Amino acid sequence: MKPGTLSKALKSGAIWGFIVLELIFFSIAGEYLSLSDKAFMDWENMLLLLKQSAPIGIIAMGMTIVMINGNIDLSVGATYAIAAIVLLESMTWPIFAGLGDMVIPVAWLLALLVGTCLGALNGLIVWKTGVDAFIVTLGSMLGFRGIVFMFNGENPTSHLNWTLVDFAEAEFLSLATASWFLLAVTLVIWFVMAKTVHGRNAYAIGDNREAAVNAGIRVGPHMMVNFAIIGFLAALSAVVFYSESGSVNPNDGQLYELWVITAVVLGGTKITGGAGSVIGTFGGVIAIQLLRKGLGHIGADTSTVNLVIGLILIVVLILDRQLNVKGKEELKV
Amino acid sequence: MATLTKQQIGTVLAKQGILIAFAVFMVAFTLANSKFISVDNLFSVVRSSAILGVMALGVTFVVISGNLDLSVGSMMSFSTIVVLDLHDQIGPALAIPAMFAMTLSLGAFIGFLVGYLRLNSLIVTLGMLSAIHGLTLTYSGGQNMDIADKEGTWFSVFGQGSALGIPVPILIFVALAALLGVVLAKTPFGRKVYAVGGNGTAATFSGIRRARTVFACYIISAFCVATAGLIQASRSLGSQNTVGQGLELEVLAAVILGGASLLGGSGTIFKTVIGVLILGFIQNGLLLIGLQFYVQFVVTWVIIILAVWLDIAAKRGKLLSSIA
């Protein structure tokens, strides 16, 4: 066995081990502490869990690419809110009045287009100005949120289209629409990252940008595409969620970026870029949702959830450090 | 002195760009509305910027040392809630030092993780953002915190009082800025902070204890946060659990606007103060010319990116990045 193989296996499997631990813990603890008679590992409950993971999960897939690329996107929460408002508003616009239910695909496309453009705008700025993605998206997080308010004032936007609600609440093979979207996005992004040139380039750029440039990869356009993808996915997440709920507040999606980054980091993606996996991120998303649901199941409130997730993130970081081959770091100290 | 070349002018413009932009702003807003430059208005802007400003002073240290602190918003909520709760239980004279001790120990915890264990500061403080928020909610039981006797307490002096006609929050902000400015610019410790952020490896080899320096920066940051929490608590004498939510990013925006690099090693207290004032005056100016408060978000976005872009462009000598 090559050195490092064990630690690598431990790391990539860690998130699934953690999920199993969570399931066991909450099942046992639930027997004694839960107010409801239902078991935690109830089939219905697990399906619901998958559905509830969808909004964060869909965005997290985009964040995985962007972070493997060595960038970060803090503006996803605001993009999410803009897309939601575009979706709900555009269905009431007079120009689309004659379309009947055909307004739905038009509104979807419009919302997705807006999300993609906003993401691409971030990417373009990162590419052309050379300003760090953290700063660019920190700025656009504020800017996009400002646009939401300018668009919408401070009131919620509501529009219920029953055909759309039926679609969003539909179940196929006992999985909800949102779950299907999450699974499909995971599959597509996994394929892109594992099997295509674009995916390999993403790892190469995150690992060593200079080397990637020298190897002839067009780093700028590549990063822009990835930002467009995360913008698209933030919009898709909004579209899926708000089709069902039909009402959006201008502050919706706030702190989503933090939840998403937490899920991606738990899933083993390096914040410095060059390493990470889509499947790991999926595990991270499930682990977080399981924790929220599980703690709720045994009667803990949101404060405990926040506390526990924050501490777990730090513990994961410490463990990750211990498991890493230390050679490179030792030289620095 | 030789004649200035075009590029030198460009460099000067970019280096002092933030001050020039500030001056242009002030003139433009004054022309648009003469009330803008009145003493009352200037005071009210600085007073409302004081809380953000005090936090930004501490974060400047952290950023110069090459790290980030995303937990200052939650930590500020925590200190506000704690001091309000302890005020009624053990009295203000004991509540304030107790709150400072608790906040500083949170800062010490982060400093230990980032400094001594060398963990990534972005993720650590992201985790602490969530954890401290949870801690605050647990502490308060999710309830808003209010002081029982709002009229009869001297505690309100930090947020509402004034001395020599100047509001106390401004005095605290100015005093702390002066103190920390001297510490950063004139003491060996300040030079260590720059050294650690500029090149950690080189600093280590020249005998600077990196871990200890980073640790101290987080302690300073926590101290500033506690001070901001004190001002906030004293100003409102009651508070929600989420009072500081989102402030971490605004604080960071002010620090970046002041020209500190996220890579570490550059930035000054004076420039951070300018960054804070620009944010405050933009907000105020836009309101005065009759725009909604949220327009400032969009304006801030444009300004942050332009400021950092010009800074980088001056360093590399051309406007667009060379990324293919």
Structural domain boundaries of chain B? 35-143+153-316
pLDDT of residue A324: 60
HSE-up (13 A, CA, CB side) for residue B108: 6
For chain A, the domain total comes to 1
Q: For residue A117, tell me if it sits in a domain.
A: yes
Do residues B161 and B153 touch, judged by C-beta distance below 8 A?
no
Cβ contacts of B315-318, under 8 Å, gap ≥ 24: B316/A130, B317/B7
pLDDT for the residue B8: 67
Contact B324 A265 (CB under 8 A): no
Alpha-carbon separation of residue A322 from A317, A329, B87, B103 (angstroms): 9, 12, 43, 28
The answer to whether position A279 is within a domain reads yes
Task: Inform me whether the C-beta atom of residue B3 falls under 8 Å from chain A C-beta atoms.
Answer: no
Q: Looking at residues A169-178, what average pLDDT do you find?
A: 79
Compute the distance between CA of residue A111 and CA of residue B252 in angstroms, rounded to an integer: 30
Higher per-residue confidence, A5 vs B232 = B232
Of the candidate ranges A96-110, B104-118, B162-176, the one whose mean pLDDT is the lowest = A96-110
- Is A21 part of any domain? no
A305 part of contact set with chain B, CB < 8 Å:
yes
The residue with greater pLDDT, A5 or B309, is: B309
Residue range A242-297, pLDDT digits in tens: 887 878 888 888 778 888 988 898 888 888 888 888 988 999 899 888 888 888 77
- Taking alpha carbons only, the member of A63, A74, A76 closest to residue B249 is A74
Q: Using CA atoms, how far apart are residues B323 and B257, in angstroms rounded to an integer?
A: 24
What is the domain-level CATH number for residue A168? 1.10.3470
Rounded to whole angstroms, the Cα distance separating B139 from B82 reads 8
The amino acid at residue B164 is L
Which range scores top for mean pLDDT: A320-329, B83-92, B256-265?
B83-92
Report if residue A33 sits inside a domain.
Answer: no
Query: Chain B, 150-179: which have a CB under 8 Å from a chain A CB?
Result: none
pLDDT band per the 50, 70, 90 thresholds, residue B189: very high
pLDDT, position A304:
82
Among residues 16-45 of chain B, which lie with CB inside 8 Å of chain A?
Answer: none
Q: Give me the domain span that covers residue A59.
A: 39-321
| A145, A272, A314 ranked by CB distance to B297: nearest | A145
pTM of the predicted model, to two decimals? Answer: 0.82
